[in-house]
Amino acid sequence: MTANLLAHETSPYLLQHKDNPVHWRPWGEEALAEAKATNKPILISVGYAACHWCHVMAHESFEDAETAGVMNDLFINIKVDREERPDIDQWLQTMLQGIGTSGGWPLTAFLTPNAEPFSGGTYFPKDDRAGRPSFKTVLKNVSNAFAQNPQGIEQNVTQLRQLFERISNQSRAGNLMLEDIEHSAIRTGQAFDIFFGGMSGAPKFPNVPLIELLWRAYLRNGASQFSQLVHTTLDQMCQGGIYDHLAGGFARYSTDDRWLVPHFEKMLYDNAQMIDILTLVWQHDRKPVYRQRIEETIAWLLSDMRVEGAGFASSLDADTDGEEGKYYLWTDAEVTAALEGTFVQRFKEAYDIVPEGNFLHDGRRNGQNVLNRLIGVRGYTDADESLFATQRQILRDARARRTPPARDDKVLADWNGLAISALANAGFVFQKKDWLDAAQRSFQFIVDKLGEGERLYHSYRAGKRKEWAFADDYAAMIRASLVLHEATADKKYLDQAKIWTETLNREFWDDAAGGYAFSREKGGPITLHVRSAADTHAPSSNGLMVGSLARLYFSTGDQQYADRAENILRVFAGDLATSYLQMGAFMNGFEYIATGLQVVIVGPRNDARTTDLVEAVLSRSLPNRLLIVVEPGENLPLGHPAFGKTMQGGAPAAYVCQQSACSAPMTSPVALAQSLILPAPRQAPGQTA
């Protein structure tokens, strides 16, 4: 069939390519059958809607008639949205690693007509450049190799097949001690940049699970080095160019080591995680800039990212009018014109606006500026800051007249789960009812649009849902359910978490090796069966589930949840020695189940004294917290350490429980808050969890 078949897809990324002269097919049985029938090798191009280099390769090659002609003559061409099909992306990224090539997007993979990978790469230029062959040259070389060297192709196929089998079946079991948390935190801290925060070097990504790991270390032992690394990282991100100072929200990463020059795409998962970590650290030191960034980022989510008034879109693009960052950058003259008559020089000093530009493109300044306050933070009065807020609004209004970046309005269950958790927790901590309401509406949207009985779908757009959910979807939505249960005390959220956990256990648990697999076992060409506790752009399902299973155990007293969490810890403990920088969520979950702090408040929920006790708990940074409010007459599970606890003298009372012991009752919010300062684990270091 000689046509581009993407017009009927729902993915914004695939629709970006529907008018290419390339005869694109969506992934599916029809495309694979066509490859077999024609005996043509398959070319799979994987990317996502907000990917800058995906756009570059599309403009250079996929929109070029000559290049498209070569592709159409020699290959069956398949386009894949990596966000819609993360299993395909994971499979082919692993293939690239297996042949010694760095991964990334756009991903270009070559498969046999039987859909067995044998070669690939990432971005290929249209013409020969800097020692790299042109894409047309690569296409012809691969086609010639397939036709003339079948033995070499088969050798590659066999080696990759063996690699997938090793990865699918490898054992990484080991023993995990509480002291391993300390060792991981120390080694992680040594890998951080003491001057600008984040992992040393460039580019820099907001790896929130690792920031949380360091923060937990500070709360455990009070070592100021951990606090300094966390605050340096968050301060630089909050004041740097990676943050959108006009509309809120963080970009995906910084191309430099100072967080100044961003890669401008905004991803839902990054912003959800940043809201979470800023809330956690704010609870300890009340830094005004952290609260401001939380409020601005949530405002951006609620104004710019909602789909059908409830769900959240996946991303905003980095490019507008074919130019990266064009929507966000300013020349000195543009700022002067927009802010004329408003003490513009003061603003330009504070936000680093200079005639030559502060934005480096290909290592050169071109007169463009990205707003930041990496230098202009101190020496400004409250009156200055009030004026800056007015000036930012003027610039935001001016920017709104530009062509806005495209939005990928695909709703993904896993990324929405992260956003729901962040909104619900922030709404609970800051007592913002509208945030909590938004989290509940989004949760119900996922249930209505992506739920089917006890199962979930992965993505939704334009009235259509696609692909059964992956383990990450269940893990993120289970966590969202449990955070909402804590924030609202509505039992329906706990019940939903139990249902999805049963589904996850039934469909994704590896009975032979333990741990959750990323995708369900099924036939077809994807032979990679991944079980991992390594975080990627978002926390791993196994890492998230350790903490969620702990919450379920503490909430219900059901030992099966604790047993499964401990199984996950054993299964992946062996990875920690070499992969600790990818296992932040896993280690954070381990600390939660080993030293979880349950605060039980017995009292009427509508009693102001109960509210005061709740607020005392929320005033402390407690990453291992589970707060339970019990109405008089309600019962906790029989095995719960606070079972049978009551109000005291007619007043609501709080009990702080760890392991199997609870504190004496406290009716004073001040006494409760003081008791929660840097709680120490009950288990001795070195004791097996």
Quick one: pLDDT at residue 527? 84
Whether the predicted pLDDT of 286 surpasses 90? yes
Whether the predicted pLDDT of 430 surpasses 60? yes
> In CATH, what number does 596-675 get?
3.40.30
Whether the predicted pLDDT of 506 surpasses 80? yes
Percentage of the chain modeled with pLDDT above 90 = 89
Residue pair 546/479 in contact (Cβ under 8 Å)? The answer is no
Domain boundaries, the chain: 12-169, 178-319+408-594, 328-401, 596-675
Whether the predicted pLDDT of 688 surpasses 70? no
Residue pair 226/213 in contact (Cβ under 8 Å)? The answer is no
- pLDDT tens, residue by residue, 366-410: 899 999 999 988 889 999 999 999 999 999 999 999 999 999 999
Burial of 3 (0-12, 13-18, 19+ CB in 10 A): exposed
Which three-class secondary structure state does DSSP give residue 556?
helix
Strands, E, within 161-274: which ranges? Answer: 253-254, 262-263, 266-267
Architecture of domain 178-319+408-594: Alpha/alpha barrel (1.50)
DSSP assignment string, 150-194: HHHHHHHHHHHHHHHHHHHH-------BHHHHHHHHHHHHHTB-T
Q: How far is CA 329 from CA 178, 296, 401, 671, in A?
A: 47, 19, 14, 50
Q: Which residues of 337-362 are buried (b: 16+ CB within 10 A; e: fewer)?
A: ebbeeeebebbbebbbbeeebbbeee
The C-alpha atoms of residue 95 and residue 87 are separated, in whole angstroms, by: 12
Quick one: pLDDT at residue 680? 47
The C-alpha atoms of residue 123 and residue 106 are separated, in whole angstroms, by: 6
Whether the predicted pLDDT of 470 surpasses 70? yes
The residues facing 254 across adjacent strands are 204, 262
Please state the φ and ψ torsions of residue 686, each to the nearest 5 degrees: 100, -20
Whether the predicted pLDDT of 638 surpasses 90? no
Quick one: pLDDT at residue 653? 98
- pLDDT tens, residue by residue, 239-277: 999 999 999 999 999 999 999 999 999 999 999 999 999
> Do the first three CATH levels of 12-169 and 178-319+408-594 match, i.e. the same topology?
no
Helix (H) or strand (E) holding 335: helix 332-338
The C-alpha atoms of residue 46 and residue 689 are separated, in whole angstroms, by: 41
The verdict on whether omega for the bond into residue 106 sits within 30 degrees of 0, i.e. cis, is yes
The winner for highest mean pLDDT among 439-453, 628-642, 668-682 is 439-453
Quick one: pLDDT at residue 72? 98
Whether the predicted pLDDT of 365 surpasses 90? no
Quick one: pLDDT at residue 522? 66
Quick one: pLDDT at residue 360? 82
Quick one: pLDDT at residue 2? 79
Its pTM stands at 0.95
The C-alpha atoms of residue 81 and residue 103 are separated, in whole angstroms, by: 15
The C-alpha atoms of residue 311 and residue 438 are separated, in whole angstroms, by: 9
Quick one: pLDDT at residue 1? 62
Whether the predicted pLDDT of 91 surpasses 50? yes
Quick one: pLDDT at residue 689? 38
Average pLDDT of every residue of the chain: 94
The C-alpha atoms of residue 478 and residue 493 are separated, in whole angstroms, by: 9
Quick one: pLDDT at residue 684? 36
Residue pair 131/68 in contact (Cβ under 8 Å)? The answer is no
Whether the predicted pLDDT of 685 surpasses 80? no
Quick one: pLDDT at residue 678? 63
CATH superfamily of 12-169: Glutaredoxin (3.40.30.10)
Whether the predicted pLDDT of 436 surpasses 60? yes
Q: Tell me which DSSP letter residue 518 carries.
A: S
